[in-house]
Amino acid sequence: MNYEQLIEELREEMLQLVNTKCDALLQMYRSGEVHTNVKDTIRESNLITVSPAELKGKRPLAVQFMSGEWIETPTWRKVAQRILQACNEQPDIHERFMEMCGKVAGRWRTILGSSPEEMDVPIKVDEELYFEGKFDTEAMLNMLEKKVLEPAGVDYSSIKIRYMGKGQEVAKSLEHVSEQDEPAMLQSLQNMQL
């Protein structure tokens, strides 16, 4: 893994986040709307640069691969399934996954197996290829990355995840502000954290 390239990608991601936030603030100011809760913001992160612990308590929306198309993923299990299915489409990765079946185990159960009977919550990747889904967000993404993708030699640096605070609705994150409330809106914008 090229750490300099990874750091540069992280820098680009952070700059993109700052630019996106500033553009949204300017747009809200110009339109007379104010963002009521920063945690409602939709975020995008590369799977390789975001900590699984940071995603705990967040709601996944979509996953994106090199093709650039966002694929809707309403649960973290769907995120894991779509990532594994996309990787499995590559013949060499499929072969590695099949070799790993039954050999990748957690403390008490198989993580990557050929039969759903070996698992508590099997996530179907392909015929005779299942991933254990009975984990919380952090543990599942750690298992996915450390026990499956990395040992299989998968370069997942281009995979992006779109997510937001759990239980939040996108439409609720904006609220109209009248002209007489403009000083309050400006104060809110000044208090807002990036």
> Would you place residue 61 in the very low, low, confident or very high pLDDT band (cuts 50, 70, 90)?
very high
Distance of CA 174 to the CA centre of its chain: 23
Q: Is residue 14 one of the residues assigned to a domain?
A: no
Q: Has residue 122 got a pLDDT over 80?
A: yes
> Rounded CA gap, 101 and 95, in Å?
10
**174 is written with which tokens?**
């904006």
Residue 19's pLDDT is 79
Q: Is residue 6 one of the residues assigned to a domain?
A: no
74: number of CA atoms within 13 Å, CB side?
A: 1
- Compute the average pLDDT of residues 3-10: 82
Q: Is residue 27 one of the residues assigned to a domain?
A: no
- Compute the average pLDDT of residues 141-167: 89
**Residue among 90, 123, 95 at smallest CA distance from 109:** 123
In the chain, the largest separation of any two C-alpha atoms, in whole Å, equals: 67
The DSSP call for residue 121 is S
- Domains held by the chain: number: 1
- Compute the average pLDDT of residues 143-170: 84
The DSSP call for residue 90 is S
Q: Is residue 66 one of the residues assigned to a domain?
A: yes
Give the bridge partners for 130, in sequence order.
113, 124
> Would you place residue 4 in the very low, low, confident or very high pLDDT band (cuts 50, 70, 90)?
confident
Q: Is residue 107 helix, strand or coil?
A: coil
Q: Is residue 190 one of the residues assigned to a domain?
A: no
- Compute the average pLDDT of residues 96-115: 86
Q: Is residue 16 one of the residues assigned to a domain?
A: no
Q: Is residue 29 one of the residues assigned to a domain?
A: no
Residue 35's pLDDT is 53
141: number of CA atoms within 13 Å, CB side?
A: 22
User: Do 43 and 60 meet the contact criterion of CB atoms below 8 Å apart?
Assistant: no
Question: Domain containing 154: what range?
Answer: 41-165
Kind and range of the H or E run holding 190:
helix 182-191
Q: Has residue 161 got a pLDDT over 50?
A: yes
> Would you place residue 86 in the very low, low, confident or very high pLDDT band (cuts 50, 70, 90)?
very high
**116 is written with which tokens?**
């759903």
Q: Is residue 84 one of the residues assigned to a domain?
A: yes
